Homo-oligomer: A and B are copies of this chain.
Amino acid sequence: MSGTAAGTRPARPAGAAPAGADPLAAALRPVRSGNTFEETVQRVLQLIRLGLVREGERLPPERELAERLQVSRVTLREALKVLQDAGRLEIRRGRYGGAFVRQAEQDAPSGDGAELRRRAELLGDRLEDTLLFREVLEVGAAELCAVRDTGGEEERRLRDCLAATAAAGLADYRSQDTRLHLAIAELSGSVSVAAQYAAVRSTVNELLDCIPLLPPNLEHSERQHTELVAAILGGEPDRARAVMREHLAGTAALLRGFLA
């Protein structure tokens, strides 16, 4: 028999790893990660975690949201219902009604890292994956951005985001920081980069929301943001990449520190 790429001949020793792992592993992954309902819940949560729709603001109307997510309104409503029951949304009827974001109640506002550890454990192996993937995306995006960026409109958007982070208070900082990074991901010119970054950043924010944001960290971060934007607008890809990497290393170290 000539062809037998994946043939598990009569019996393969179950214990010994095939040395080189499964060559098909990269492609043979779940086509869907859960049912539509679950994924829809995560998508809506993503909007909130990224700070794209903030406390007190409302989501787009059900019909619009359902169409943009390519999901039936029924399924979307189930997702919204769950988030309402979880206290993350307040749903009001009638014109000028809608789904309004409510503050996530923090059971333990302390920075002892108990909640962080719980969520990190939930991620398991995917924590390291998330941090690495994030680095690849953001460093790559920063570099592309520095090479591409020329349009005046794009420059303005970056400057606006930077100004917003600089002006932001402690409560608002994570949100503005996310927007700045997301802007860079989008200005990379690749929709895929932006979309993947949104997903990954959502996970990161979920963790970051468990630890306190200190003014010194914030100031340090702001200096890096300034340099990053300068490098991008100045067309210095190498510098942009270096600054971005260092910037991310700070966050990663912070997380790892609290988890250690």
Binding site for B on A (CB under 8 A): 1-7, 19-21, 23-33, 36, 39-40, 43, 46-47, 50, 52-54, 56-61, 64-65, 68-71, 96, 98, 100-101, 125-126, 128-130, 132-133, 135-137, 139-141, 144, 153, 157, 179, 182, 185-186, 188-198, 200, 202
Q: Is the CB of B30 within 8 A of A70?
A: yes
Q: How far is the CA of A36 from the CA of B144 in the complex (A)?
A: 34
Q: Is the CB of A27 within 8 A of B52?
A: yes
Q: How far is the CA of A133 from the CA of B200 in the complex (A)?
A: 15
Pick the contact of A133: B64, B179, B193 (CB < 8 A).
Answer: B193
Q: Is the CB of B100 within 8 A of A3?
A: yes
Residues of B within 8 A of A2 (CB): 56
Given contacts A26-B185, A28-B47, A40-B31, contact A53 B132 (CB under 8 A): no
Residues of B within 8 A of A33 (CB): 70
Min CB distance A214 to B, Å, is 28
Q: Is the CB of A32 within 8 A of B39?
A: yes
**For the complex formed by this chain, how many copies does it contain in all?**
2
Residues of B within 8 A of A68 (CB): 28-30
Residues of B within 8 A of A27 (CB): 43, 46-47, 50, 52, 198, 202
Q: How far is the CA of A227 from the CA of B217 in the complex (A)?
A: 40
8 CB-based A-B contacts, threshold 8 Å: A5-B53, A5-B57, A6-B61, A25-B194, A26-B182, A135-B140, A136-B136, A136-B193
Q: Top 3 A-B pairs ranked by shortest CB distance?
A: A136-B140, A5-B57, A30-B70
Who on chain B is nearest to A101 by CB? B3
Residues of B within 8 A of A141 (CB): 136
Q: How far is the CA of A254 from the CA of B165 in the complex (A)?
A: 42
Q: How far is the CA of A68 from the CA of B24 in the complex (A)?
A: 10
Pick the contact of A57: B4, B69, B191 (CB < 8 A).
Answer: B4
Who on chain B is nearest to A55 by CB? B3
Q: Is the CB of B132 within 8 A of A144?
A: yes
Min CB distance A194 to B, Å, is 5
Min CB distance A72 to B, Å, is 11
Residues of B within 8 A of A96 (CB): 1
Pick the contact of A32: B30, B32, B128, B179 (CB < 8 A).
Answer: B32
Residues of B within 8 A of A64 (CB): 6
Q: How far is the CA of A65 from the CA of B8 in the complex (A)?
A: 13
